[in-house]
Amino acid sequence: MALKLPIYMDHNATTPVDPRVLEAMLPYFTEKFGNAASRNHPFGWEAEDGVKLARKQVGDLIGADPKEVIWTSGSTESNNLAIKGVADMYKDKGRHIITAIHEHKATLDPCKRLAKMGYDITWLEPREDGLIYADQVAEAIREDTILVTIMWANNELGTINELPEIGKVCKEKGVLLHTDATQAVGKIPVDVNSAGVDLLSGSAHKIYGPKGAGFLYVRRRKPRVRLTPIIDGGGHERGMRSGTLNVTGIIGLGKACELCRLEMAEESARLSKLRDKLDQGITSQLEHAVINGHPDRRIPQTTNISFPYVEGESMMMAIKEIAVSSGSACTSASLEPSYVLKALGLGDEIAHSSIRFGLGRFTTEEEVDYTIDKVVTAVKKLLELSPLYEMVLEGIDINAIEWGAH
Amino acid sequence: MAYSEKVLSHYETPRNVGSLDKDAKNVGTGIVGAPECGDVMKLQIQVDDSGKIVDAKFKTFGCGSAIASSSLATEWIKGRTLDEAMAIKNTEIVQELSLPPVKIHCSVLAEDAIKSAIHDYQEKNGLAHDHADETEHTKA
Ligand SMILES: Cc1ncc(COP(=O)(O)O)c(C=O)c1O
């Protein structure tokens, strides 16, 4: 089969909808269009039945009771609801929250807003391997700590934080644990009970479901978690999130979760093999290339590789047939190295030229082979062009040079 | 970001990539930029007895526009006298490559690299150079 270009290697950003998911959704746009809150006629019942099934499909994937699933528009909303909702509900108990500096913006920014409102935030720093460990959390917990929010898997690195250990620490100390599991759900086994998680965010579009649908798991027992809603209205979702349910999106999210649950073992085995091949293929041919983050404690689909002495934007240009995410956002004249990579202690010049490869359900071995080839060729060409690499070959320490201000 | 045809051409097949012997007396070397800023350019010239640039080479760590700017610079200065090369303005590079405003700094860096290589050559050879030539960069 001929290779189709461009190749999509950015599945941590989003995924295509699985045709089976789409098929499950379609009737709910037309024949089954009812409002799930319409209790007094069959149109509403039909929609509600679909939503009920979806709740079970989500619950089954994460080991939760269906009643503990609150529908949202995605993980950004779920994180906001969890963090701001807990902060407000428990403000008389304390105003201290623990998180980490390399969380997704959808966690960082709600925490920053709370800081402005007078809450005290502890920002944990990852160890060199990109992980947050339970002992760091234990050390940071105080009398007035009301919430720990630490993501399950990091979106840029794919690294998996020390869960369930963090959950255990939180349980022991009686502090609520929220985890942004957007990058973990459906990819690795996630179980809210064995991980000691009280609130968990997930999003459909990362797992072959539609965009604009997500959920927040909210524990109902031991302890019963309460939240102040951020959207008030008709009192849907046990009053935690008002608004007519996005039935089609919810049906898609449910189906996506079911497929992930049934196919996870096989899919993750296949993808981790391909991911390892990609890592191997690149690092064995490029001696300076380094894998960022813990090499083993990672979700199986993702790898983040730095290419020292090569500049990021030119690198992206050289592999433009491959859709990847670069470690820097080149929205302006000066590149902004990723705060996640900087959190690992990577120098600017290395953070500048890091690439996240995100494999997915429809990635083929052929595509991986092509990617290896393209990347290796591109980096070799750019190294040939790089004055920094030349200096390194001559034995000059480029960090010792006083570069002109600019 | 969309690149112009000319930037792409220089990026895909950069002209005059390489290095000259930086210790040779008839070679001038300029290194400008900084890794933190995402661009470092090295530009070298080889000058004959009559003061004409007979060869030029570059290596650049930077985006496609930086690579294209320095590649173009080497093309332009080959065959010129030092004075002629000194007169090249970053705005001419901007124009030739159709650089967007956010990439103007690449052309500035290329102009700096030419001047820096010429100064190095002049210093090595005990030639006084005219500081008045170090004019302000005009923003395109
Ligand atoms: C870890 C993490 N959290 C939150 C989000 C935001 O999710 P959504 O797009 O569903 O709002 C993303 C996706 O970009 C993510 O990777």
Q: Catalytic residue among B41, B85, B93, B106, which?
A: B106
Q: Which of B61, B71, B105, B119 to mutate to test the interface with A (most CBs of A within 10 A)?
A: B61
From the CA of A212, how far away is ligand 1's center (Å)? 11
Task: For tokens 């000059």, name the residue.
Answer: A396
Which carries the bigger pLDDT value, residue B34 or residue A183? A183
Measured between beta carbons, the chain B residues lying within 8 angstroms of A404 are 32-34
pLDDT at position A348, please?
72
Task: For tokens 């998180």, name the residue.
Answer: A99
d(CA B63, CA B99): 12
pLDDT at position A346, please?
82
Active site residue B37: yes
d(CA A281, CA A321): 18
Structure tokens at B4: 């112009």
Q: Is B60 on the interface with A (CB under 8 A)?
A: yes
Which residues are CB-contacts of A312 (< 8 A; sequence separation ≥ 6)? Answer: A326, A327, A328, A330, A335, A352, A353, A354, A355, B38
Q: Is B64 on the interface with A (CB under 8 A)?
A: yes
Structure tokens at B113: 């690299």
pLDDT category at B1 given cuts 50, 70, 90 is: low
pLDDT at position A330, please?
44
- SS3 at position A52: helix
E-only strand ranges, A83-135: 96-100, 120-124
d(CA B80, CA B53): 6
Q: Would you say A155 and A104 are in contact if contact means Cβ atoms under 8 Å apart? A: yes
User: Model-level pTM?
Assistant: 0.91
Q: Which of A78, A151, A182 to mutate to test the pocket of ligand 1 (most atoms within 8 A of CB)?
A: A182
pLDDT at position A402, please?
81
pLDDT at position B132, please?
47
d(CA B129, CA B51): 13
Q: Catalytic residue among A111, A257, A260, A330, which?
A: A330
Q: Would you say A382 and A289 are in contact if contact means Cβ atoms under 8 Å apart? A: no
From the CA of B115, how far away is ligand 1's center (Å)? 48
pLDDT digits (tens, 9 = 90+) for B36-88: 888 999 999 999 999 999 999 999 999 999 999 999 999 999 999 999 999 99
Q: Would you say A127 and A102 are in contact if contact means Cβ atoms under 8 Å apart? A: no
Q: Do the chains contact at B60 and A387, CB–CB below 8 Å?
A: yes
pLDDT at position A331, please?
44
Q: Would you say B83 and B129 are in contact if contact means Cβ atoms under 8 Å apart? A: no
Q: Which amino acid is at A14?
A: T
Q: Would you say A129 and A293 are in contact if contact means Cβ atoms under 8 Å apart? A: yes
Please report the ipTM that was assigned to this predicted complex: 0.90
Active site residue A330: yes
- pLDDT (tens place) for every residue of chain A, 406 residues total: 679 999 999 999 999 999 999 999 999 999 999 999 999 999 999 999 999 999 999 999 999 999 999 999 999 999 999 999 999 999 999 999 999 999 999 999 999 999 999 999 999 999 999 999 999 999 999 999 999 999 999 999 999 999 999 999 999 999 999 999 999 999 999 999 999 999 999 999 999 999 999 999 999 999 999 999 999 999 999 999 999 999 999 999 999 999 999 999 999 999 999 999 999 999 999 999 999 999 999 999 999 999 999 998 899 899 999 999 886 544 444 556 788 888 888 877 677 788 999 999 999 999 999 999 999 999 999 999 999 999 999 998 888 888 875 5
pLDDT at position A405, please?
56
Q: Would you say A197 and A204 are in contact if contact means Cβ atoms under 8 Å apart? A: no
Q: Is B32 on the interface with A (CB under 8 A)?
A: yes
* Ligand 1 site residues, Cβ closer than 6 angstroms: A 74-76, 104, 106, 151, 155, 180, 182-183, 203, 214
pLDDT at position A328, please?
56
pLDDT at position B115, please?
97
- Give the percent of chain B with pLDDT over 70: 90
Q: Which of A109, A152, A155, A302 to mutate to test the pocket of ligand 1 (most atoms within 8 A of CB)?
A: A155
Q: Would you say A88 and A94 are in contact if contact means Cβ atoms under 8 Å apart? A: no
Measured between beta carbons, the chain B residues lying within 8 angstroms of A388 are 35, 40, 61
Q: Which of A288, A307, A314 to mutate to test the interface with B (most CBs of B within 10 A)?
A: A314
Which carries the bigger pLDDT value, residue B3 or residue A246? A246
* Chain B residue with Cα closest to A401: B34
pLDDT at position B127, please?
85
- SS3 at position A223: coil
pLDDT at position A403, please?
81
- SS3 at position A124: strand
| DSSP string of A330-345, one letter each residue | -SSSS-EE-HHHHHTT
